[in-house]
């Protein structure tokens, strides 16, 4: 199974096959507009600007499962992202990434990757504190821990890397460059 086996909904509700992205390097990310990590939209757009012509696509999936930090309609979210961050990469319909309501794409992503840790920085310490209260076993599952978890997909549709939200965008950029 590869990423190309999945269908998702665009922000206007149309179902599309991810096979439309065959041969591209994909960065799949669950996002939120009212999160401490929301400024990562700027880094994502910069990455898109730099590498889109070389074959990078960033696929943005808003998700309201973490602290209800992605309120509003798909149109509201799109307007915020384009207005504030100049986002040009594809944004899809709001989804769930964990639990019974998780879309099949995210079920596959989380079943085939492991949590990579939050690092030693201040944000990592904060995330560990928050998650240990919610789920003391959080480190031992592949579930999405928070907004802005990223999955890098190679040109054959396979998962190449997983990045937790606390990973510096420079590290993401280096892995993208390697795959391109």
Q: Which residues are catalytic?
A: 35
Angle at alpha carbon of residue 78, lines to 60 and 150, rounded to 5° = 15
Q: How far is CA 40 from CA 32, 60, 84, 116, 150, in A?
A: 10, 12, 12, 18, 11
Q: How far is CA 61 from CA 40, 64, 95, 177, in A?
A: 14, 10, 7, 22
Sign of CA dihedral 83, 61, 113, 18: negative
């Amino acid at each position: 199974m590869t990423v190309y086996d999945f269908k998702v909904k665009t922000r206007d509700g149309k179902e599309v096959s991810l096979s439309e992205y065959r041969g591209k390097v994909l960065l799949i990310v669950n996002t939120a507009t009212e999160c401490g990590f929301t400024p990562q939209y700027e880094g994502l757009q910069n990455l898109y600007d730099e590498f889109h012509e070389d074959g990078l696509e960033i696929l943005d999936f808003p998700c309201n499962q973490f602290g209800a930090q992605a309120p509003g309609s798909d149109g509201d979210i799109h307007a915020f992202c384009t207005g504030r961050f100049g986002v040009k990469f594809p944004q899809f319909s709001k989804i769930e990434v964990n639990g019974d309501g998780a879309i099949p794409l995210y079920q596959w992503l989380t079943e085939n990757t492991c949590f990579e840790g939050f690092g030693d920085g201040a944000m990592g310490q904060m995330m560990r504190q928050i998650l240990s209260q919610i789920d003391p076993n959080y480190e031992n599952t592949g579930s999405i821990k928070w907004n802005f978890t990223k999955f890098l997909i190679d040109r054959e549709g396979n998962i190449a890397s997983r990045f937790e939200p606390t990973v510096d965008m420079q590290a993401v950029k280096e892995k993208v460059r390697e795959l391109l």
